[in-house]
Amino acid sequence: MKKLLTAVAAGAALFASLPALADQASADQALKEAQAAVAQADSIHYLWTTTEKLMKDAQDAYKKNEFDKAEQLAKEAKIQAELAYQQGQTETKRAQAKR
């Protein structure tokens, strides 16, 4: 009987930890995607300062195991980086058209 209870308790503990692992995995993915978008915007020297702060905050939240917060901040940083890249491309085309 003790072995059965121990096995049930171990299974319950494992099951309880699964959402945290999923949160960490999704936060990892969000951070990787945001870092790629930030690198793209930075490659044309058109990165918003607010995006840099969001990335720092996302990384800090991740280090504190605040995976939901890290994921949310990383997704916002990705959106901002993509918008900054689009804006940079538009400004470059506009400047070239004026030449």
Range 2-16 average pLDDT: 50
pTM, two decimal places:
0.77
Q: What is the 3-state secondary structure (H, E, C) of the chain?
A: CHHHHHHHHHHHHHHHHHHHHHHHHHHHHHHHHHHHHHHHHHHCCCCCHHHHHHHHHHHHHHHCCCHHHHHHHHHHHHHHHHHHHHHHHHHHHHHHHCC
Residue with the bigger pLDDT between 24 and 11: it is: 24
Domain boundaries, the chain: 2-97
Q: Is pLDDT above 50 for 5?
A: no
